[in-house]
Structures are given as C-alpha cells and as structure tokens.
Amino acid sequence: MHSACNGDGVRHAVEAPCAALEGNGAGLVRELELARKVQRALERLYAVAPLDDVREYVQPARNGREELLVRETRGVLEIAVHLPELAKSEPLDVDGWCQVIEGVSHFVLLADRAREDRSVSRLELELQAEVDKFVVLFSAMQMPSLANGERLMHRLYDSVQFAHAEDTELGARYRQANGVARRWVARTGLRFASPLDVGGFRAALRAFFRAPLEEKMHRALAA
C-alpha cells in the first residue's frame, strides 16, 4: 500500500473509497518495466509534471485482470494498481498490454487530478484509459497510418467482450466509455493520421486530457 499524495487537495479525487489495498509487485518484472515506459510516455504526451514512479504502486492482479484500488486516510490518497502477468507464449500480448496501459492511465489521471485538487469520476477514468489504449498502441506502430489506425480502432472498440452484463453499473460504465472513446478516435484522433500530423494529434490529446468529463463527452459526441 503506497501513498501518492497528501493534504486536503486529494479529498475529492475519487468518488468513493475502494476495497482494502494489499499485496506487492514481486515477480512482475516485464510488467513493471512496461508500466514505467507507459507512464513516462503519457507524462510527456500530456505535459504532466513527473509523478511518483507507478512501479511503487503496482501489485499482482487478484483475479487475473487489471484493477485500481483507492482509499483516502486522514488526507492521504493511497493507490494500488493491480496488474496481471503478460502472456509469455505470445510475441505481443495485446490484451495484457491494454490492461497495463489502462492501469497506468488510471494512475496518471488520478494522481494528476489529486495534485491539482480536481475531482475525477470512475467514468472519466475509464474513458481516458480507453483513449490512452489507442494512443499508446498507435504510437508504437512502425507504420502509424490511417489504415492501421482504423484496424486498431476496430480491434479495441468493436471486437471487445465485456465481463459485466449491460444492465449492471460496471457493464453500463464500461460500454459508455468504450463507445465515447471510439467516437472520439474515429472523428478526431484519426483525422491526424492521413497525412500523419503528430503535432495536431498531440494538441488534440492534451486538450482532451485536461478537459473535465462533461467537456470530454461533448468533444467526442459533437465531433
């Protein structure tokens, strides 16, 4: 269990405390290395002042899937990022990568908002993570073209299976985040793929990251 921030500025950083934090990150060597690289990439992309090293907050997944646990105790925000092991038999474990990206995205947004004394909802955490999955994987391509971007978009947002039923709170939230992120990527993100406009893409992403949830939704749905 590790503390990311302290002081009154973190009191509204999450809507409600999560379950008790426990465990440690022993054995997650590849996962820790990838998590740190993703954190640095997101900090550079979003011009976020350096945060605590996410590796200090990583713990093994308790149920085989990524999970963010948060609680606040006497003005101190405690965070645990539970990550699964990457598959050793696959050259590129896309699902594993996505879970690492999602966990790190949650950490970066939550810690950045807490530092600025800004609140963040569960829906915003999920929406930002859905966008960050596309950003990180698209940027890692040897040929980040429009065609490859469209294929990645379909794989991330159309060929997805949800673990929770649509009529549950979690199921509804994940589906909403998926749908809004897909719309933003399709209508805004991919505009900068042909021809590739790194500067324009970065500016659009930074504006999206800094916007509150209501504006994020507006930017995606009005695009």
pLDDT tens-place values along the chain, 223 residues long:
344 443 222 223 333 333 333 345 556 898 999 999 999 999 999 999 999 999 999 999 988 899 999 998 887 889 999 999 988 766 678 889 999 999 999 999 999 999 999 989 999 999 999 999 999 999 999 888 999 999 999 999 998 888 889 999 999 999 999 999 999 999 999 999 989 999 999 999 999 999 999 999 998 988 6
pLDDT score at 26: 53
Q: How many domains does the chain have?
A: 2
Q: CA-CA distances (angstroms) from residue 35 to 5, 8, 58, 86? A: 19, 28, 9, 12
Q: Please identify, among 89, 115, 141, the residue that sits at the C-terminal boundary of a domain.
A: 115
CB 43 within 8 A of CB 108: yes
Same domain, 101 and 127: no
Same domain, 216 and 167: yes
Same domain, 57 and 32: yes
Give dist(CA 88, CA 90) in Å, integer: 6
Whole-model pTM: value is: 0.86
Q: Please identify, among 88, 115, 142, the residue that sits at the C-terminal boundary of a domain.
A: 115
Same domain, 104 and 134: no
Same domain, 16 and 83: yes
Q: Please identify, among 67, 88, 115, the residue that sits at the C-terminal boundary of a domain.
A: 115
Same domain, 152 and 171: yes
pLDDT score at 91: 63
How many CA atoms, within 13 angstroms, populate the side-chain half-sphere of residue 222?
6
pLDDT score at 7: 29
pLDDT score at 46: 97
How many CA atoms, within 13 angstroms, populate the side-chain half-sphere of residue 143?
6
Residue 17, domain extent: 2-115
Same domain, 67 and 98: yes
Same domain, 105 and 173: no
Same domain, 105 and 6: yes
Same domain, 46 and 66: yes
Same domain, 13 and 104: yes
Same domain, 154 and 181: yes
pLDDT score at 73: 84
pLDDT score at 65: 92
